[in-house]
Amino acid sequence: MRFRRWMRRDSASAWLFLLPSLIGFSLFYLIPFGMGAAYSFQSSSVDGSFAGFANYQELLASSSFRKAAGNTFRFTVISVPLMIAASLFIAMLLNRSAYLRNWLRTAFVMPLVVPVASIILIWQILFDWNGTLNAMLHAFGWSRVDWMKTDWARVVVIFVYVWKNIGYNIVLFLAGLQNIPRDYYETADVEGAGAVRKFTGITLVYLLPTTFFVVLMSIVNSFKVFRETYLIAGDYPHDSIYMLQHYMNNMFMSLDIQKLTAAATLMAVCILALVIALFAVEKRFRSFME
């Protein structure tokens, strides 16, 4: 009886401390998103009537939206696995007694604390037609490349995205690696297990929760690449890096609220479905390993 009273009192205290955050989240995120989703089913944002899925049908029929959605999907499919593999590889190197390990850890975390707007100036100088990279290519006798106005633009954006977010993943993987007991590796060495067997049978298994979280955050961050792309290439970049955020920003500038809210709602639903699918895969894999 006392335990129940204590639990009730503890739950009430927890809800009391969470209440300011819940109010702020509702006012600035949940309620505006609900209003936007409601606008996406109306013919107009001012005195509009219920239009059903007409706005979504018009949205899916738009070639600009399909191009933006396809580019966003391709960017996520390419950049997320690349960043996860690179961050795990670097984390495993730093987890050893490497030379200058602490300095290297700090170097990889630095992009997280540097403002994007200031760093973009460096990328613009680096990838400009008369920039540093083209000057190096010219010095070696190779032709210049218009990086941001050709298909190379996608490679540039992927590189910037990986550079900006890889430090966060490395820190998470390092924390996961350091929590794996060394006894397991010593036992595997005694039994004659190779490096591949230890990696698949020990490292990946115990890194499952960390890997799941890293994959989830990497996918979410891949939908935030609009900042870097917008600052480097502007409102209307090359077709290969025209993302969903560009489309929604252009709809906002033209005050096409119905297409804007429909695109935002559809993107949110797709992200939610992807997150639910990841949770289901992680749960099934965990039960299989147990």
User: Domain-by-domain residue ranges, the chain?
Assistant: 61-289
Model confidence, pTM: 0.80
Q: Which residue has the higher pLDDT, 6 or 194?
A: 194
CA-only gyration radius of the chain, Å: 24
The architecture of the domain spanning 61-289 is Orthogonal Bundle (1.10)
Return phi, psi of residue 220, to 5°. Answer: -65, -45
Predicted pLDDT of residue 98: 59
Greatest Cα pair distance, the chain, in angstroms, is 83
Distance CA 261, CA 257 (A): 6
Distance CA 159, CA 155 (A): 6
In this model, does residue 1 exceed pLDDT 60? no
How confident is residue 84, by pLDDT bands cut at 50, 70 and 90?
very high
In this model, does residue 121 exceed pLDDT 70? yes
Predicted pLDDT of residue 162: 87
Query: Per residue in 201-231, pLDDT tens?
Result: 888 888 888 888 899 888 888 888 777 787 7
In this model, does residue 154 exceed pLDDT 60? yes
Nearest residue to 54 (alpha-carbon basis) of 44, 63, 66: 44
For the chain, the average pLDDT equals: 82
Return the DSSP state at 143.
Answer: P
Helical H runs in 179-256?
Answer: 182-190, 195-198, 204-206, 208-222, 226-233, 244-253
Average pLDDT over residues 101-130: 75
Pair of tokens at residue 185 = 């590796």
Output the CA torsion sign for 232, 238, 240, 245. Answer: positive
41-55, 146-160, 170-184, 204-218: lowest mean pLDDT where?
41-55
First to last CA, the chain: 35
- Cβ atoms of residues 217 and 168 within 8 Å: yes
CA angle 84, 88, 94 (to 5 degrees): 145
**Percent of the chain at pLDDT exceeding 90:** 4
Predicted pLDDT of residue 81: 92
Query: Per residue in 11-42, pLDDT tens?
Result: 777 788 888 888 988 888 888 888 888 888 88
Distance CA 12, CA 17 (A): 9
Pair of tokens at residue 109 = 């975390």
Predicted pLDDT of residue 12: 75
Pair of tokens at residue 169 = 């993943």
